[in-house]
Homo-oligomer: A and B are copies of this chain.
């Protein structure tokens, strides 16, 4: 790298083109199961279309099930280690509500639903996002079985979130989400943080 001209000050993050074929933006996702199924559908589609790692996430209004934003893992496609599914879902949800917090004054409670347990980075992002609830399907053990590293997450990490009002619900439809991880392995998908 030789220095020289200043690099561009603009960086673009794009969801895959297929997203709007998979996501029904008008649907109310009434219960946890339908919300987790959407996150898992996004993760599976990301594997089958070969657009990234086996992870999907979405942000909902907790009470109504209105969908606010979705994310899939974009690490390899966009050459960006930060773009885990949860981070992407939070970014797009905040862009949609026009605020750096999903817990702004007068805003309805919102929640993050992920196909897999968040890594250390995404757990931090969850805390800063302003969601009041985190729901995930596959867990750390399932991701680790694939040699995906989850980073420095400890029982105290979850206690820290709970103390700040973020409730955590784990292992919903775990087997189904773990199946997508297995599919990714079968297809020889890249383990980008091994």
- Checking B11, B75, B101 against A92 with a beta-carbon cut-off of 8 angstroms, the contacting residue is B11
Please tell me if A61 contacts chain B, counting CB pairs below 8 Å: yes
Which positions 89-131 of chain A face chain B at CB distance < 8 Å? 90-92, 94-101, 119-125, 127-130
Closest beta carbon of chain B to A90's beta carbon, Å? 6
Closest beta carbon of chain B to A158's beta carbon, Å? 8
> A168-194 interface mask toward B, CB cutoff 8 Å, 1 = contact, 0 = none?
000000000000000000000000110
> A69-94 interface mask toward B, CB cutoff 8 Å, 1 = contact, 0 = none?
10000011011111000010011101
A interface residues, how many (CB within 8 angstroms): 69
Q: Which residue of B lies closest to A126 (CB)?
A: B121
Contacting pair A12 B15 (CB below 8 A): no
> A125-151 interface mask toward B, CB cutoff 8 Å, 1 = contact, 0 = none?
101111000000000000000000101
Copies of this polypeptide in the complex: 2
Given contacts A11-B95, A124-B121, contact A80 B66 (CB under 8 A): no
Given contacts A101-B81, A127-B120, contact A96 B20 (CB under 8 A): no
Contacting pair A94 B120 (CB below 8 A): no
- Chain B residues with CB below 8 A from A94, complex form: 79-81
Contacting pair A11 B13 (CB below 8 A): yes
- Chain B residues with CB below 8 A from A156, complex form: 152, 154
| Bound CA–CA A192/B152 (angstroms) | 24
- Chain B residues with CB below 8 A from A96, complex form: 1, 7
- Chain B residues with CB below 8 A from A6, complex form: 19-20, 23, 25
| Bound CA–CA A127/B87 (angstroms) | 15
Contacting pair B14 A9 (CB below 8 A): yes
